[in-house]
Structure 1
Amino acid sequence: MPPVLWQRLQLKLPVIQAPMAGGATTPQLVSAVCEAGGLGFLAGAMLSPEQIGQEAARIRARTSQPFGINLFIQDDPAPSAETLEPALNLLRPWHAELGLAEPTAPERFCQPFEAQWLALLEARPAVASFTFGIMTSEQVRALRAENILVIGTATNLAEGLAWAEAGADAVCAQGREAGGHRGTFIGEQQQSLRPMLSLVYELAQNLPLPVIAAGGIMNGREIAAAMRHGAQACQLGTAFLRCPESGISAPWKQALAQAKAGDTCLTRAFSGRYARGLSNRYIEAMARCQEQLPAYPVMNALTGPMRAAAAQASRSDLMSLWAGEGVAEARELPVAELMAQLQAEWQAAYR
């Protein structure tokens, strides 16, 4: 039998650190996970092509172990003034509250994907993963020609099958419990909210590819459960957010420390794409009009100045505090200690 995915990646335990955009995945976090026997992942979606190369070099300066880079598959849109006006009007009072100038549309709404993808190819990580869309078969072949393993994100069976057809090496099954943005690209985001274990089982039964479980996994017992359902590795995000190596802001870390079970919700209010995070005043106030907001990445760019100012002012009531459903179980430990605990719990689950 061929080795399972985590053994093929030469990991000590089947843990992949989720590529969390928004400053969480520092070179320190990524390299510490790699050094502890997992697969660290750089979130490249918000980085310029130059920054992708620079961050990859910083990771390599800290570890000789393999690591991954993730990108969002997206076009830079050109929305009309009519599309933008309602969102800008809704943001005006929040800007006033923070003492910011009137909200305006930026010159561009996201980084240029084509240039990011070329920077990723040049950086030659061991693994590349993609969210929000699908690569062409030609792009997948180009990655594999550089010996880069390709992982696609799937929130439903149709997406998993599409990635298999495109030639991916593995599929990450994103359950509804996962923190951050939904990866859905076939069908409605709200129709692709399967519980992680159920989605993992369905994909593992129906795909000719290894499946990675993602969503709400916080300890070794849950890793073992996902693997019993057919996962060949597990992707953990929220579990790493309280580590000192994580780059999230102090108010975000403080909010995570105080979070209880049931404190997360799905919202479009910050970015125009459904994402899971801790509920707060902004999310609650915008809930009634969130369906009118422009889609990602437009709304994400429009709320950028507000989110940055809120973080600066320690105003967690106006920040996007992305976190998964298991947030109450997040541990404030250095990466090496957390990974050692995960390994002990995982092994104990099989005894």
Structure 2
Amino acid sequence: MWPNRRLIDLFKTEFPIVLAPMAGIMDAELVIAAAQGGALGSLPCAMISAEKAREQVNIIRQRVSAPINVNFFCHKPLELSAESEARWKERLTPYYEEYGLDPSAPIAAANRAPFDAAFCDVVEELKPEVVSFHFGLPDQALLRRVKAAGCLVISSATTVKEAVWLEQNGVDAVIAQGAEAGGHRGMFLTDNIAEQPGTFALVPQVVDAVKVPVIAAGGIADGRGIAAAFALGASGVQIGSAYLRCPESKVSVSARKALAEAGDASTVITNVMTGRPARGVANRVMREVGPISPDAPSFPHAATALGPLKAAAEKQGRVEFTNLWAGQAIGLGREVPAAELTRDLAKTALARLKALAG
């Protein structure tokens, strides 16, 4: 069977597979389906309220008895300066004019909430088996409360230094997020995206540097990738992009089409969508304004002015202002139910590992 059972034994899941939390395009339905397939389902909470998180966890609990992971951002919010906002609005004005929108009209602020006392209350009340963080860890007082509630804590590292820091600060497992991964870089000790290694360079070095189990993430979308991660010393994998086209995801029809047509060269790392580097399928605004632009306001404020453009384009079935977060293995994605996909990933990985073992 699995040559390394540390993650299975830690999480009490059937398979050492973690469904990546993908904020904005999934909810309880995908978590439930992945959990039914044997993975650790992850509920992203960065774009929902504490009340909504409570509701979603209760829905999951009613449908499955499997362990679940509740995921939060823990970035330090930065104020949006009037100068930065004006510069960004000016850069986007031609697009507003093209869609007949008023760039001076009030816009609802982008919602990317960091973990706080209200979220911590929900964790203490509902006691999810696992709580994961992106962009480091919350302050020690909140972290102590999470651990006191009996939750396992995991977080993402994009370098060996970050992995060591996470272990020193009490995580039960480290997610080694390589440059191939879709979505936001989990970096927190550096903001230099050029420093982030690829998954298969990062994983063995993190395995050597920490004692806790390591979860490989980035560019893993089939059994071959899972087997390779185990060969490098990982105790499990985190997979997101492979699940994007599952019927349980909330990806729109037009976005599904773009994802289905994407290949290995389709994704780029950009800051124009939110103000923080993230990998996604290149769209019009990423190509024309970025992919990296000094005009993009700090996270998450770049997303605010893009909101009306995204909504207007999506009404026309276009995704030129939609953040299609996806990793470099997006071309391996399939349109199959999430539970079936999970079981197939595990089956093909075990077959490959058996073949490698001779």
TM range (shorter): over 0.9
The normalised TM-score by structure 1 is: 0.94
| 8 Å contact from structure 2 (residues 28, 56) kept in 1 | yes
Q: Which sits farther off after the overlay, 221-230 or 291-300?
A: 291-300
Q: Indicate the SS of the match to 1:261.
A: coil
1:266 equivalent in structure 2: 269
CA offsets 1:215-239 (integer angstroms, 9 cap, x no match): 0101111101101111111000000
**Is residue 173–residue 200 contact of structure 1 (8 Å, CA) maintained in 2?**
yes
Calculate the aligned-residue CA RMSD, in Å. Answer: 1.9
Question: What is the Cα deviation at residue 298 of structure 1?
Answer: 1.4
Quick one: distance in 1 between partners of 2:338 and 2:110? 36
- Within-5 A mapping of 1:143-292: 143-287=146-290, 290-292=293-295
Quick check: 2:47–2:111 contact (8 Å CA) kept in 1? no
Contact 1:176-1:196 at 8 Å conserved across structures? yes
Tell whether the 8 Å contact from 1:16 to 1:40 is kept in structure 2 after alignment. Answer: yes
Give distance in 2, aligned partners of 1:237 and 1:73.
20
2:327 aligned partner: 324
Q: Given the alignment of the two structures, is residue 38 of structure 1 paired with residue 39 of structure 2, yes or no?
A: yes
Amino acid at match of 1:43: P
With over 3 angstroms needed to count, the CA separation of the structure-2 counterparts of 1:302 and 1:316, relative to structure 1, is same
What displacement does 1:121 show? 3.3
2 CA distance for matches of 1:304 and 1:56? 27
Amino acid of the residue matched to residue 175 of structure 1?
G
Task: Give, as a single letter, the amino acid of the residue that structure 1 aligns with 2:168.
Answer: E
Q: By how many angstroms is 1:112 displaced?
A: 5.8
**Cα distance in 2 between the residues matched to 1:125 and 1:149:** 9
Paired position in structure 2 for 1:29: 30
Q: 2:13 aligns with which of 6, 11, 14?
A: 11
Contact preservation (8 Å) 1:182, 1:189: no
The offset of 1:143, in angstroms, is: 1.4
Q: State the Cα distance separating 1:66 from its structure 2 match.
A: 0.9
Native 8 Å contact 1:252 1:316 kept in 2: yes
Query: What is the aligned partner in structure 2 of residue 118 from structure 1?
Result: 121
Secondary structure of the residue aligned to 1:99 is coil
Amino acid at match of 1:68: N
CA contact (8 A) 1:45 1:111 kept: yes
Q: Shift in Å at residue 348 of structure 1?
A: 1.0
The count of corresponding residues between Structure 1 and Structure 2 is 349
**Identical aligned residues as a percent:** 36
Q: 1:173 touches 1:214 (CA, 8 Å); kept in 2?
A: yes
- 1:177 deviates by 0.4
Please tell me the residue identity of whatever aligns with 2:24. Answer: G
In 2: Cα distance, 1:45 partner to 1:108 partner: 11
| 1:149/1:202 CA distance change after superposition, 3 Å | same
Matches of 2:109 and 2:191 in 1, distance apart?
Answer: 29
Match of 1:129 in 2: 132
Q: Runs of 5+ in structure 1 lacking a partner? A: none
Are the equivalent residues in 2 in contact too, given 1:184–1:192 (CA < 8 A)? no
Within 2, Cα distance between the matches of 1:324 and 1:342?
Answer: 17
Structure 1's 323 and 288: CA in aligned 2 closer, same or farther, altered over 3 A? Answer: closer
Q: State the distance in 1 between where 2:348 and 2:216 align.
A: 17
- Of the three residues 314, 317, 328, the one matched with 1:314 is 317
Read off the aligned partner of 1:101 and give its amino acid letter.
D
- Following superposition, the deviation at residue 17 of structure 1 comes to 0.3
1:7 CA displacement: 2.6
- Please show how residues 288-299 of structure 1 align to structure 2 within 5 Å: 290-299=293-302
**Alignment-mate amino acid for residue 19 of structure 1:** P
Q: Tell me, which stretches of 5 or more residues in structure 2 are unaligned?
A: none
Name the SS of the counterpart of 2:294 in structure 1.
helix
Q: Give the 5 Å matches for 1:338-349.
A: 338-349=341-352
